[in-house]
C-alpha cells in the first residue's frame, strides 16, 4: 500500500486523495506572488513537526531572506536548524555547467550530500527549479539534468520532493520550460485571479498519479500562524459579493492542524 505524506494543509491532503505519495516528486507551479514558497515551507514545517529531516534548497533568493520573511507568519525555523533537523542552503549553478556536463554533472547532488553529511532526507524543496536551467539552450541536457536529480532524490534518499517553478502571469503553461510536469508525479497550480473587482488566490491539482484527486479550483488565503488556508471553490463565488472573512468548515479544520 502506498504511504502518504501530509502537506501540512488538511484540505489539500483531501484534494490530493490522501496526501502526497511518499518518495515521489511533485511540481508546484504558479505566477509571482501566488504563494508557492509558503506552500513549500508549510510542507517542510509539517515534516519537521514529525521529526523528519528536511532540506530547503534556494536557487534564487538568499536563504536568510526566506527565513526572516516567513517569520511574518509566526513561523520560526531556527530551532530545527540548530537541532540539525532542517538544512536550508543556497546553490548557484551556472547555465554553462548544465550545457557542458548535462547528465554527468554531480555538483547539485554532491552539494546536498555535503550539507546533510550523507544523512537521511525525508522531505526536500527545490525553489525555484527553473533557476537550474535558465540560459541553457539544449533542452535534452536540461531535461536529463533534472531527471538525474529527481531519480537520485527518489531512489537514493526516498525523499518526497517539491519542485517549485514560476510561470508567466496569465500563461496557460504548467512550467517554465514545458517539460518539468512530465518528470513529476503530480502538479499543483497556484494563481491569482481577478474576481468582482478584487484579486483572489486560487489553487487546483492538475495531475496526480495513482490517486483519485479532486480537480476543483479552490480559493485560499494566507494567514499568520496558519499559512495557506483553503476555502470554497471559486465557482461558488462568481457573481457574489465576498469578503476575506468568509470561512468554511475546511478553514476550521486547517487552523486546527498541528503546527
Contact present, 122 and 52 (Cβ < 8 Å): yes
Whether residue 30 lies inside any domain: the answer is yes
Whether residue 59 lies inside any domain: the answer is yes
Whether residue 228 lies inside any domain: the answer is no
- Other beta carbons within 10 angstroms of residue 256's beta carbon come to 9
pLDDT at site 149: 80
Whether residue 112 lies inside any domain: the answer is yes
Quick one: cell of 213? Answer: 484527486
The length of the chain in residues reads 259
Q: H helices within the chain, ranges in order?
A: 10-15, 36-49, 63-69, 78-82, 95-101, 107-116, 139-151, 180-183, 249-255
Q: Radius of gyration of the chain from Cα atoms?
A: 18
**What is the secondary structure of 207-247 as a DSSP string?**
EETTS------EEEEEETTTEEEEEEEGGGTTTS---TT--
Distant-in-sequence, close-in-space partners of 76: CB < 8 Å, separation ≥ 6:
none
Whether residue 10 lies inside any domain: the answer is yes
Q: What is the domain extent for residue 96?
A: 4-190
pLDDT at site 103: 45
Count of the separate structural domains present in the chain = 1
The rounded distance, in Å, linking the Cα atoms of 209 and 224 is 32
Whether residue 226 lies inside any domain: the answer is no
- Calculate ∠ Cα 212-215-220, nearest 5°: 120
pLDDT at site 244: 41
Taking only the tens of pLDDT, the chain with its 259 residues reads: 789 999 999 999 999 999 999 999 999 999 889 999 999 999 999 999 999 999 999 988 899 999 999 999 999 999 999 999 999 998 765 545 444 444 444 667 777 888 888 889 999 999 988 776 554 556 666 777 778 888 888 888 889 999 998 877 766 665 555 556 677 899 999 999 988 888 999 999 999 988 889 999 999 999 999 999 999 999 888 766 444 433 333 443 444 444 3
Whether residue 87 lies inside any domain: the answer is yes
The rounded distance, in Å, linking the Cα atoms of 20 and 3 is 8
Residue 194: strand, helix, or coil:
strand
pLDDT at site 243: 43
CA torsion sign for 240, 245, 249, 255 is positive
pLDDT at site 93: 58
pLDDT at site 181: 67
pTM: 0.83
pLDDT at site 178: 57
pLDDT at site 249: 37
Query: CATH code at 69?
Result: 3.40.50.300
Amino acid at each position: 500500500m502506498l504511504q502518504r505524506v501530509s502537506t501540512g494543509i488538511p484540505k489539500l491532503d483531501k484534494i490530493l486523495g490522501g496526501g502526497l505519495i511518499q518518495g515521489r516528486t511533485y511540481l508546484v507551479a504558479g505566477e509571482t506572488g501566488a504563494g508557492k514558497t509558503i506552500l513549500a515551507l508549510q510542507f517542510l514545517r509539517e515534516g519537521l513537526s514529525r521529526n523528519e529531516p528536511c532540506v530547503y534548497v534556494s536557487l534564487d533568493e538568499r536563504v536568510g531572506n526566506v527565513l526572516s520573511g516567513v517569520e511574518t507568519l509566526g513561523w520560526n525555523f531556527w530551532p530545527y536548524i540548530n537541532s540539525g533537523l532542517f538544512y536550508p542552503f543556497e546553490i548557484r549553478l551556472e547555465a554553462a555547467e548544465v550545457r557542458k556536463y548535462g547528465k554527468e554533472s554531480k555538483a547539485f547532488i554532491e552539494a546536498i550530500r555535503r550539507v546533510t553529511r550523507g544523512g537521511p532526507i525525508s522531505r526536500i524543496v527545490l525553489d525555484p527549479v527553473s533557476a537550474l536551467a535558465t540560459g541553457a539552450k539544449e533542452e535534452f541536457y536540461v531535461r536529463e539534468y533534472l531527471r538525474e536529480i529527481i531519480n537520485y532524490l527518489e531512489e537514493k534518499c526516498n525523499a518526497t520532493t517539491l519542485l517549485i517553478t514560476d510561470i508567466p502571469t496569465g500563461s496557460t503553461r504548467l512550467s517554465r520550460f514545458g517539460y518539468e510536469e512530465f518528470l513529476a508525479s503530480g502538479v499543483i497550480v497556484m494563481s491569482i485571479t481577478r474576481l468582482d473587482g478584487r484579486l483572489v488566490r486560487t489553487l487546483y491539482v492538475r495531475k496526480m498519479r495513482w490517486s483519485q484527486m479532486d480537480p476543483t479550483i479552490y480559493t485560499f488565503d494566507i494567514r499568520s500562524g496558519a499559512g495557506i488556508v483553503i476555502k470554497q471553490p471559486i465557482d461558488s463565488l462568481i457573481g457574489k459579493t465576498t469578503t476575506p472573512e468568509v470561512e468554511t468548515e475546511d478553514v476550521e479544520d486547517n487552523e486546527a492542524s498541528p503546527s
